[in-house]
Structure 1
Amino acid sequence: MFVAPPGYQPVYNPRIPYVGPIYGGLRSGMSVYIQGVIPHEITRFNMNLQCGESEGSDIGFHFSPRFDNWDKVVFNSCQEGEWGSEEEIHNMPFSKGDAFEMVIIINQEGYQVTVNGQDLHTFNHRIPVERVNALQIGGDASIQTVNVIGGGNPAGDQIGGNLPVMDGQPIFKPPVPYTIVIPGGMSTKKTIVIRGMVPLGANRFSINFKVGSSGDIAFHLNPRVQERELVRNSFIGGSWETEEREISINPFLEGQYFDMSIRCGNQRFKVFVNGQHMCDFFHRFQNYNQIDTVELEGDVQISYVHF
C-alpha cells in the first residue's frame, strides 16, 4: 500500500501549541500550507519556522498576527536568544470567526506570505534557510491542516520503494476549470496531490488525466456530490467505456476540505483521500506515459495542486 512520505503527509487538527519536524529541512522552492479558523476571542497567535524543535532554538521566521486596538502582523527572527528588528504591517488579513488559508513560499530572497490568495509580505532571510527544520505554532488560532509542500524528500531512502515522484512547483488557488501540464509527462510513481474544498450546493466535479494530442481521457475521476457517488471511467477513441462506482469511503461532502493524492503505478492509479485508500483504477490506456495533462473542472475550489 502506498503511504505518503512524512514530508508530504499533512498534519490534521494539531493540538496547539504544536511543534513538528520539517523532514530534510527547508529549501528554496518549498512551501508551508496552513488552514485554520480565527476564534472570536483571540489576542494573538504565532508561527515560527525554527532551527530545531526544542524551546530556545533559533527562529528563521517569526510570524505573529496581534489583535488589539492596533491590529498588526509582526515578522521577526531570533538568534542565540536575541530578537532581531521587527517588521510589521497594519493590513490585518485575518478576521475573527473566519476560516483562512495561509501559504509561506520559501524562495531565494526570503519567506513570501500569502493569506486567502492575497500577497501579504516578504520577509528576507536572516538565517540560512537550510538550518530551518521545524515548525512551531502557538496562541489562540484553531489549526485544521498543516502541510509542507515541495522540495523533494531527502529522507526518502529511509522509507523504501513507495516514494512518490514530486518534481513540479505547487500551483496555489488555480481557477476552475484549469488545465495543468504534467512536468515530464506521466511515469511510474508520479503522484499528484490536490487540496480542495467541495462548496455548498456543489453538484459534481471531475479530474481528468488526458493525452493532449488525441483528447483521450485515460482516467476520469468524477465525484457526484448530490448522488454521493464517485464515478471512474476512461474516454478512448471518441467513446466512454465502462463506469466503475464502488468505493470504500466517500469524503466528498458539501462544505468539506479534502486532501487527495493520485499515484500512477505500472498497472493502475491508486487514489488516497485524507490519508485513506479510496479506490484503484486499472490502466485501460496502456501507453500511460503519453498522458501529459490534468484537467480540473466542475463544482470545486482548489487550494493547491502539486506534482
Structure 2
Amino acid sequence: MSVAHPKQTFLNPTVPFAGTILDGLRPGEMVLIQGSVLSDADRFQVDLSCGSSTKPRADIAFHFNPRFKRSPYIVCNSLHQERWGKEEIHYQMPFQQGAAFEIIILVQKVMFKVAVNGGHLLEYKHRLDLDKVDTIGVFGKVKLQAIGFIPAASPTLNPPSSLVTKAVQSNAIFSESGDLSLPYRGRLLRGLNTGNTLTVKGQISLYPHSFTVNLRISDTKDIALHLNPRIKAGVFVRNSFLGECWGPEENTLPIPFPFHPGEYFEIIARCEAHLFKVAVNGKHLLDYKHRVQDVNRIDELEIVGDLQLLDVKLWCPSA
C-alpha cells in the first residue's frame, strides 16, 4: 500500500488473528475486512483494542460480535479494566453462515460507523480514547481474505489490488478480470434486478473536471442511469440516454456537493421497484425514477473520467 503514512495490509491471515495497527487509528480512516462466515459458525468477533495484553486483558474500544444461534443478532460493547460495559444489541443481521462478507468500519471523532456488504449497519459511540487503539483482532468461525486500512483523503492512495479490487464471487455478479483501469466496463451476468446494490469506490484526481458512472443496455446505445459529478462546476448531473436522445437533466441536491479533488468517495446505488436510491459516503443523496422499466435489460457498467477506480461490486439481494 503506497501512501504518505503507510498502513499495514494483512492478506489471508489465519484466525484467530491479532495485528498491530501502524500509527493507530485516526478520524476519517477506514478499516476494511473481507472474508466469509464458516457454514457451522455460532459467532465471530472483530475487536479494536488498546494493546494485545492477555494478563491483564487489554482494553477493547470496539467489540463487534455477530451471533447466529437461535435468533441472530449483533452485540457491540467495550471492555475497560477487564470489565464489559453495557451491551448494544442490533437485530439487523447482514451476515449468513457460509456466505462471504465485506465489513467497512469508518472511524469518526465521536463514533465508529459500520457498513456490511455495501449497506450501512450501525453506529457505535466511542467509550474509550481513540488514540489508544493500536490492535485489531478477529476471532471465531470466519475465514479471512484481507484486512486493510484506508487513510483519510490520501491523494497517493493506492491499495493493493488483492485487497480492494477482487470481487467476492459468491456475492458479486460482475464478469470482470479485476482490471480497474479506465475506461472501465463490467458485464452484469444476469442483468440488473430489484434489490441489487452497486458500490463504486474511488479516489478523485487532484485536478479533476468530472467523472461518469453509466448503467447501460449493451445491445443498444441506451444509458438507463447516467451519474455525472462535475467537480469543477460543483454539479451532480443525473440523466438517461434513450433512443439516441438525452432526457430531462436532474441536478438538484439536498446537501452540499459531496465530491472534492483528491478525496476518496463511495457511491452506493440501490435498484428498487420504481427508482434508484443513491448514497454518497454513507449518506442518502437522491432518488432517480426508472426511465427504463425493464431493469433486467441493463447489463453493462461503464466508468470514465478523472478518478482512480479502487473497487466495484454489485451485490445480490440475498448476499
Residue number in structure 1 paired with 2:175: 201
| Matching residue of 1:34 | 33
Q: Is 2:313 the partner of 1:301? A: yes
- 1:122 aligns with 123
2:306 is aligned with what amino acid? T
Q: SS at 2:58's partner residue?
A: coil
Paired residues for 1:1-307 under 5 Å: 7-55=6-54, 56-151=57-152, 167-168=153-154, 190-193=156-159, 195-197=164-166, 201-202=175-176, 206-207=181-182, 293-294=306-307, 296=309, 301=313
Deviations 1:205-245 (A, max 9, x none): 53367975699xxxxxxxxxxxxxxxxxxxxxxxxxxxxxx
- Rounded Cα–Cα distance in structure 2 between residues aligned with 1:128 and 1:200: 41
DSSP-derived class of the 2:182 partner = strand
Using the TM superposition, give the Cα deviation of residue 192 of structure 1 relative to its aligned residue in structure 2, in angstroms. Answer: 3.2
Quick check: 2:20–2:136 contact (8 Å CA) kept in 1? yes
SS for the counterpart of 1:130 is helix
Mapped contact 1:7–1:149 kept (Cα < 8 A): no
Describe the SS at the equivalent of 2:131.
Answer: helix
- Provide structure 2 residue ranges, at least 5 long, that are not aligned to the other structure: 168-172, 184-204, 212-304
Q: Which residue is equivalent to 1:233?
A: none
| Matching residue's letter, 1:206 | S
Are residues 86 and 211 of structure 1, via their aligned partners in 2, closer, same or farther at CA, if it must alter by over 3 Å? closer
Matched letter for residue 293 of structure 1: D
CA-to-partner distance for each residue in 1:110-134, whole Å, 9 max, x for gaps?
Answer: 1111000111110100001001110
For the Cα contact (< 8 Å) 1:36–1:142, is it kept in 2?
yes
Give the alignment's TM-score, normalised by structure 1. 0.55
The ranges of structure 1 where at least 4 consecutive aligned residues each deviate by more than 2 angstroms after the TM superposition are 2-9, 190-194, 197-215, 299-303
Aligned-partner residue type, residue 197 of structure 1? K
Q: Secondary structure of 2:106's match?
A: strand
| Distance in 2 (alpha carbons) for counterparts of 1:62 and 1:77 | 6
Q: Distance in 2 between matches of 1:41 and 1:127?
A: 33
Distance 2:18 2:43 in 1: 17
Amino acid at match of 2:158: I
Q: Which residue of 1 aligns with 2:282?
A: none
Tell me, in whole angstroms, the C-alpha distance in 1 between the residues paired with 2:148 and 2:129. Answer: 21
* Cα gap change, 1:23 to 1:300, in 2 (>3 Å): closer
In structure 2, the partner of 1:285 is: none
Q: Which residue does 2:237 correspond to in 1?
A: none
**Residue in 1 that maps onto 2:286:** none
**Number of paired residues?**
190
Structure-2-length-normalised TM-score: 0.53
Match of 1:278 in 2: none
Deviation at 1:150, TM superposition (A): 0.8
> What CA deviation, in whole Å up to 9, does each residue of 1:156-184 have, x standing for no partner?
xxxxxxxxxxx43xxxxxxxxxxxxxx5x
Is the Cα–Cα contact under 8 Å of residues 210 and 295 in structure 1 kept in the other structure?
Answer: no
Query: Does the CA-based 8 Å contact 1:196-1:302 persist in structure 2?
Result: no
1:10 Cα deviation (Å)?
Answer: 1.7
3-state SS of 1:53 partner: strand
Q: In structure 2, what is the Cα distance between the partners aligned to 1:205 and 1:30?
A: 22
Counterparts of 2:101 and 2:137 in 1: how far apart (Å)?
Answer: 18
3-state SS of the aligned residue for 2:109?
A: coil
Equivalent residue of 2:181, what SS? strand
Q: Note the C-alpha offset of 1:108.
A: 1.4
Which runs of no fewer than 5 residues in structure 1 stay unpaired? 152-166, 169-182, 184-189, 216-291
Aligned residues of 1:18 and 1:138 also touching (Cα < 8 A): yes
- Percent identical among aligned pairs is 32
> Which segment is superposed worse, 90-99 or 5-14?
5-14
RMSD: 3.2
Q: Return the letter of the residue paired with 1:11.
A: F
**Amino acid of the residue matched to residue 146 of structure 1?**
I
Residues in 2 aligned to 1:98 and 1:212: alpha-carbon distance in whole angstroms:
38
Go from structure 1 to structure 2 and tell me whether the alpha carbon gap of 1:207 and 1:63 turns closer, same or farther (over 3 Å shift): same
